[in-house]
Amino acid sequence: MRALVWHGKEDIRCDTVTDPEIEHPRDAIIKVTSCAICGSDLHLFHNFIPAMKPGDIMGHEMMGEVVETGSEMNGSLKKGDRIVVPFTINCGDCDQCKRGNFSVCERTNRNKEMADKAFGHTTAGLFGYTHLTGGYPGGQAEYLRVPFADKTHIKVPDSLTDEQVLFLGDIFPTGWQAAAQCDIEPTDTVVVWGCGPVGQMTIRSAVLLGAKQVVAIDCIPERLSMAEAGGAITINFEHESVVERLNELTDGKGPEKCIDAVGLESHVSMGQPDTLLDRAKQVVMLESDRPHVLREMIYVCRPGGIISIPGVYGGLVDKIPMGPAMNKSLTFRMGQTHVRRWTDDLLRRIEEGQIDPSFVITHTVGLEEGPEMYKVFRDKKDSCIKVVLKP
Amino acid sequence: MAFPSNMTRSERDPKVLRSGPSSLSSSDRLARNLGWFSIDLGIVEFIAAEKVTGALGMRGKENLVRAYGIREIASGVMTLSVDKRAGLNSRIAGDALDIATLATAIRPENPKRDNAVLAMLMVAGVTLLDFVATGAHTVRHIRHSGERRSYSDRSGFAEGVEASRATARKKLGDLRTSSVNEGPPTKKTSGADSV
Ligand SMILES: NC(=O)c1ccc[n+]([C@@H]2O[C@H](COP(=O)([O-])OP(=O)(O)OC[C@H]3O[C@@H](n4cnc5c(N)ncnc54)[C@H](O)[C@@H]3O)[C@@H](O)[C@H]2O)c1
Ligand SMILES: [Zn+2]
Ligand SMILES: [Zn+2]
């Protein structure tokens, strides 16, 4: 089959690889009908997340048709079923899964020992991601083996298109969790840093969860235009002062809820001198991530507020103002998304027509154009916001 | 942070049979080669400054050459990083400095001036490559500012933003009033059952 394979920094190729095979009775194989490129894939593309290996198949946002199952599906999945695959692999039976903490499932990381060493305790296995999370082959491919498939799937009805349900596997629940963990009150101002695909889903989620006002920050005009369409007041940080505008919008008190949908690769710009220093430290490996957004959120957030972090961080950050954070009584919530925790509710909302996540797709191409599309998405060329690949 | 010995793939994971087209373009490869060239040259300048000044007839300028070595290494590392453009720009600035410095060695009284001329030709050639790489990189990586699309029609809400917002705010308002009537607000956990 063909698949997008990681060969090193900025080197992703559309290779011919052997087909995946069932290894375990709980495995299933799907024929991928649609998959997407995620902002997290860019961190891997740039080699900012440790423990990638040449030959790793990329992709963790995918759906398709079940073509083969192992012997232990317990009636939950059969050939011909149409499923979206959550990017966090979950066993469904461990203590964490029972609590709904699917992204920290205790059993699905097949490199548990390595993760125990690096993180203290293991987290769940993830598709198309680093070997620290199991090194499972990803879904930017024609076929995908889904481990723990009897639990790791979301069945979707034929009445909805691929484009409407594909993002249930990652960015929609990610945006939703980011907003939900803010415990939004009717009086709240929710601010979202980053208007990439995750930011866009977060903005819609905050609206659907009843926020008084949603503010979105980025510097890319077309992304800001999409944020505004979703009901956000926008701030272009290259032209306006984030701090001043947020104070204006909140009577000088600061927003109650702040969400980082940017992650470790915050833009480097002259207007934000700390980002230059971060970049220099990254180059000489004194720091792995650029946490400009974290610093800004801690500074602007209203005392007693909540900081929610769906944006991915990979390793070490420097100069986090812990003093202000502590003294302002801020609450931090973060994590890879517990996808299955939210998807029944979100699928219902899509079926009811409350929201149609396909609004975010700007490019649809074949798999062989994948390597080029990584660059188009990374460089925001051709007004690109979200790329869907059709294997 | 990497533990290569522990990294496992299983027997039946797909394996690469044939490699296809890569995201790495020829200009990316050129930039990468220039980056390594910078680092190699920088190391030579730094640890063998006497040999360099001797060959060029520039004795006494060892510390300058060592400083240039550090500069080369820094711009090499930048050129290999994701910010190639900054690295390439600093390489070009460095090339100019090198040429200016070498020009001082092309004097009739310098017995090694032929070497200096050769070095200068080489720097000029590499400068050309730096310009090629920077040019290709700029063209490929700068967002086209003129032809931006607007997505102001993409709300994602079938009923439109304002109607969706109103419904959601009413629902949340009702939820909060009913929980006030029932007594003290229940502790929110942001867990599975919070919304
Ligand atoms: N927690 C999860 O489970 C999960 C799931 C999916 C994605 N993610 C992460 O979410 C983040 C965003 O993903 P995406 O797909 O939207 O990626 P993206 O790269 O398309 O979006 C990032 C956006 O942030 C903007 N940005 C950069 N610096 C900024 C700054 N200082 N202030 C405001 N905006 C800034 C960029 O212009 C860009 O539009 C990534 O870190 C990704 O890894 C996390
Ligand atoms: Zn993702
Ligand atoms: Zn589990």
CATH topology for A172-334?
Rossmann fold (3.40.50)
Range with lowest mean pLDDT among A164-178, A214-228, B66-80: B66-80
What is the rounded distance in angstroms from the CA atom of residue A51 to the CA atom of residue A66?
Answer: 30
- Is the residue at B113 inside a domain? yes
Determine which of A67-71, A290-294, B177-181 has the lowest per-residue pLDDT on average: B177-181
Q: In this predicted structure, which of A168-172, B57-61, B142-146, B149-153 has the lowest mean pLDDT?
A: B142-146
Task: For the beta carbon of residue B148, count every other beta carbon within 10 angstroms.
Answer: 15
Cα A28 to Cα A72, A102, A150, B15, B76, distances in angstroms: 10, 19, 8, 18, 47
- pLDDT for A340 beyond 70: yes
Q: Is A40 in the pocket of ligand 1 (CB under 6 A)?
A: yes
Asked if pLDDT for residue B142 goes beyond 60, the answer is no
Residues of B in contact with A45 (CB under 8 A): 23
Total-model pTM: 0.90
CATH topology classification for A2-170+337-390: Quinone Oxidoreductase; Chain A, domain 1 (3.90.180)
Banded model confidence at residue B176, pLDDT cuts 50, 70, 90: confident
pLDDT digits (tens, 9 = 90+) for A294-313: 999 999 999 999 999 999 99
Domain with B50, as residue range(s), is: 25-140
What are the structural domain ranges in chain A? 2-170+337-390, 172-334
Q: How many CB pairs under 8 A join A and B?
A: 214
Which has the closest alpha carbon to A352: A217, A208, A211, A227?
A208
Q: Which two tokens stand for residue B113?
A: 């001036």
Domain membership of residue B153 (yes or no) is no
Q: What is the rounded CA–CA span in Å between residue A252 and residue A189?
A: 12
The pairing of beta strand A232-236 with beta strand A213-218 = parallel
- Report CA(A13)–ligand 3 centroid distance (Å): 33
Whether the CB-CB separation of A292 and A265 falls below 8 Å is answered with: no
Cβ contact, residue pair B20, A13, below 8 Å = yes
Looking at residue B179, the DSSP 8-state letter turns out to be H
**To probe the interface with B, which of A57, A89, A131 has the most B CB atoms within 10 Å?**
A131
Is pLDDT above 90 for B89?
no
Whole-angstrom distance, CA of residue A16 vs CA of residue B20: 7
Q: How many Å apart are CA B68 and CA A362, to the nearest integer? A: 46
Distance CA A302, CA B175 (A): 24
Tell me how many domains chain B contains: 1
Confidence of residue B77 (pLDDT cuts 50, 70, 90): confident
Q: How far apart are CA B138 and CA B140, in angstroms?
A: 5
Burial class (CB in 10 A: 0-12, 13-18, 19+), A90: buried
What is the band of B1 on the pLDDT scale with cuts at 50, 70, 90?
Answer: very low
- Determine, yes or no, domain membership for B191: no
In a domain, B52, yes or no: yes
The answer to whether residue B34 is domain-embedded is: yes
Ligand 1 site, residue A61, Cβ cutoff 6 A = no
In this predicted structure, what is the pLDDT of residue B178?
A: 81
Task: Assess if residue B158 is contained within a domain.
Answer: no
Ligand 1 pocket, residue A171 CB under 6 Å = yes
Residues B125-151, mean pLDDT to the nearest whole number? 75
The pLDDT assigned to B172 comes to 94
Asked if A297 and A245 count as a contact pair (C-beta separation under 8 A), the reply is no
User: What rounded mean pLDDT belongs to chain A?
Assistant: 96
| Virtual torsion, Cα A162, A163, A164, A169, nearest 10 deg | 80
- Count CB atoms within 10 A of the CB of residue A314: 20
State if residue A172 touches ligand 1 by the CB under 6 angstroms criterion.
Answer: no
Measure in Å the smallest separation between the Cα of A230 and chain B Cα atoms.
4
